[in-house]
Amino acid sequence: MGVLGAIWNDDVPLYQIPYQTIAQTFWRDVYYFGLRTARPLLLFRRRMLPVLLRPVLALWFLLRASVMAVYHVTFERLHTTLHSVRAAHREHLLAPGAKRSAWQTAIGFFRDYRLIFRTASNILLPVGALVALLVVIANVNEKTYALKVTYNGQVMYVANEAAFLAAQESALSHITVEEGAEGYAAAAKYEIVEVSKAALIDEDTVRDTIWQNFPEEMANGCGVYVDGKLEAVVRNESDASSVLESIKQEHAEQMRIDAGDSIGFVEKIELVQSIYPTQTDKVMDAEGLNKLLTGAKEGELADIATEDDTLYSIAARHGTTARWLERLNPQFVDNYLHGGDKVIISQEISFLQIKVIKTETSTVPVKYEVVNTNSDKYYKGEQKITTKGVPGEEIVTKIVTYVNGVVTASEEIDRVRTKAPVTEQVLIGSKSTRVVTTKGEVIIINPSAQGFVWPTPQLSTITSPYGYRSSGFHTGMDISGSGASGKLVVAAKDGTVESVTRSGSGYGNQIVINHGNGVKTRYAHLYTGSMSVSPGDRVTAGQPIARVGSTGNSTGPHLHFEVIINGKTQNPKNYLKMP
C-alpha cells in the first residue's frame, strides 16, 4: 500500500496516517515540477521574447519620436518664445521713463508679444483648419439631398423618385385596386430638401407606409400568385403551402412517383406574406383555396396524334368518347387523322397543371432480320422457313415528362441490349412451276400455302369429297373428269416413296409417299403399268409418278387421294389449292 493509499483505506486508523511524509512528498513534487517548468520559460525569455518584442519596441520608439517632434514644434517652441518675449517686455516696463498710459500699455503689450501671437497663430490656425475640415466632412456625411414625398398627409424622405415609384408599384400590386385607387396613388407631392441620412427610408418602409394609409381595410395575410396574378389570400403561408403539398402528394400517388422523380407545377406559384384588403372575394380559408386550385378554368387541352392514332384511341387515352372529340374537332369527321395533328380534348383545363418528370425503364422488342435465299428445291411462289426468326430485347431508359398525366415530352437516355435477335432464314422457291413430261405434256404446278400441289394437273373435278357418304366414311377425295383414264398423277409434296402396291381389289394399284414429320399421301386406283417409282425413291412436288386408272374397288376412272397426318386421314381440301 502506498503512502497516499493509506488516506483512503478505512482499515488504517487516522493516527497512523503519515501526514508529514505526505506533505514532504507533495512539496518535493511541486518543487521538481517548478524546476522543469522554469527552464523552458527562461529559454523563452532569453531567446524568443526579444524577437517578439522587436515590433512592439519599434512602434514604441516611433510613437515616442512623433510625440517629441510634436512637442518640439508646438509647446517647446511656444514656451521658448513666451519666455523671450516676457523678458523683453519686462525690460520695457523697467526702463527709465517707462511710465505710460493704459492705452500705451495695451499697445505696447501687443507689440512686445506679437512674436508669441504669430507663433501661436502658425500653430493653431492649421489645427483649427483641420478641425473645421473634419467638422464639414462629418456634417456632409450626415446630411444629403433627398426627395420629400407627401403622400396622403404622410411625409416620407426617399433617395429619389424612382425608389418611391418602385415601392408604390410594389404596394399596389399586392392589393386589389378599386376604382379611384390610381388617383389616390398619384396624389403624391414631391420636394427636394436637405435632410439627415438617418431620415431616409427604404422601399419596404415606403410600401408599408402606403399600406397603412390605404383607404380600404387591410390585414396581414399570404397572397397566392399564379403566373404573377393574385388568385387568393389565406391567413398565413403555412396554410397555402399545405394545400399545394397535398395537391402534389395526391398526384404523386396517382403517378407512382419514385425517389428519383420530380413533381411540380407548370405555372409559377408565389406565396407572398404581406398586407391585403379584407373586403374581397379573394380572401378564403385553406378549404376554399384547395377547391379553387383543384378546379377547372377556361383553356384548351390538346393532344398531338401519332401515326397510329385514331380519334377512338385518343378518346380512350383521355377517358372520353370519340363523338365528343368529333364535336370539338369537326375537321377530323370526314378527313383522316395524321401524325402530328393537334386534337382538342377539352375547352377546360385544370386550374393548376401538374408537371411530373419520371425516369422510366421498359423492355422493347428488337426486330429480327429476314434473309431470303433462292432454292431450286421449291417451286416459284413457295417458301420454306429453315430458321424461325426470334425478336431480341433491349432495356430502354427514358426521361418522360407528363402534364396532368399526358406525355408531353420523352427523351431516351440509355439503351442496353439484353437479348440478340435471331435472324430468320427463308428458302424462296426458284424451281419453275412449268413441268414437261416425257411425252411432251406441259404441267403447271401451283403449290398451296402448305406446300402441296394438285395431284392431277389435268383433272379438277371432285366426284366424291372427304367425309361420310352412303357407303360409309370416305377417307380421301376422288378426283376425275372428262377422259380421266390415263391422265397424269404427280407427287403432291416432296418426299420418299414408302410403298408401291399392285392389287386388283380395295385401293387397287396405289402409291404411298412419306413426306416426313408424320405426313403421308396415298394415290389409289392407278392405271396398271403406269407407276414409274419404286419404294425408297426420292420424289419432288409435281413429279409424275403414275396415271389415273380404275383398279381395285372403283366405279370408274378417278384418283383416290388421301392426306395422312400421324396415322389419321385429314380432309385433303385443307391442304390443296384448287387449280
DSSP secondary structure of 355-417: EEEEEEEEEEEEPPPEEEEEEEEEETT-EEEEE--B-EEEEEEEEEEEETTEEEEEEEEEEEE
DSSP states of 265-332: ESS-EEEEEEEEESSSTTB--HHHHHHHHTSEEEEEEEEE--TT--HHHHHHHTT--HHHHHHH-GGG
Phi-psi region of 136 (alpha: psi -120 to 50; beta: other; left: phi over 0): alpha
**Topology annotation, domain 442-574:** Glucose Permease (Domain IIA) (2.70.70)
56-84 in b/e form (b: 16+ CB < 10 A) is: eeeeeeeeeeeeeeeeeebeeebeebeee
| pLDDT of amino acid 183 | 43
pLDDT digits 0-9 by tens, 217-237: 777 788 889 888 888 889 888
Q: How far is CA 24 from the centre of its chain?
A: 80
How long, in residues, is the chain?
579
- The tally of CA atoms less than 13 A away on the side-chain side of residue 136 is 6
Where are the domain boundaries for CATH 2.20.230.10 in the chain?
355-427
The SS3 of residue 118 is: helix
Distance of CA 208 to the CA centre of its chain: 40
What is the C-alpha to C-alpha distance for residues 284 and 498, in angstroms, rounded to an integer?
95
C-alpha atoms less than 13 angstroms from C-alpha of 247 in its C-beta half-sphere: 24
**Residues 227/268, Cβ–Cβ less than 8 Å:** yes
Within 189-264, where are the H helices? 203-212, 237-255
Cell numbers of 90, please?
519686462
Q: Where in the chain is the domain with CATH 3.10.350.10?
A: 234-354
- CA triple 12-18-20, angle to 5 deg: 160
pLDDT of residue 42: 75
**Residue 345 has which C-alpha cell?**
380534348
User: Which fold would CATH assign to domain 355-427?
Assistant: Resuscitation-promoting factor rpfb fold (2.20.230)
Please provide the DSSP assignment of 21-65 as one string.
HHHHHHHHHHHHHHHHHHHHHHHIIIIIHHHHHHHHHHHHHHHHH
| CATH number, span 234-354 | 3.10.350.10
**8 Å CB contact between 290 and 311:** no
Burial status of residue 556 (CB atoms within 10 A of its CB: 0-12, 13-18, 19 or more): exposed
pLDDT at 189: 81
Which residues is 564 bridged to in the sheet? 520, 569
Task: Report the distance separating Cα 302 and Cα 469, nearest Å.
Answer: 66
Q: Which residues of the chain fall short of a pLDDT of 70?
A: 1-20, 35, 67, 69-124, 138-142, 173-187, 211, 213-216, 298-300, 347-348, 436-439
Q: How far is CA 90 from CA 83, 96, 104, 119, in A?
A: 11, 12, 15, 20
Integer Cα distance of 375 and 98 in angstroms: 158
Rounded to whole angstroms, the Cα distance separating 525 from 489 reads 11
Alpha carbon separation from 546 to 28, 186, 387, 559, 562 (Å, rounded) = 137, 116, 35, 10, 15
**For residues 561 and 83, what is the distance between their CA atoms, to the nearest angstrom?**
161
Q: Strands of 131-267 (E only): list them.
A: 143-151, 154-158, 189-196, 218-226, 229-234, 262-265
List every span in the chain annotated with CATH 2.70.70.10. Answer: 442-574
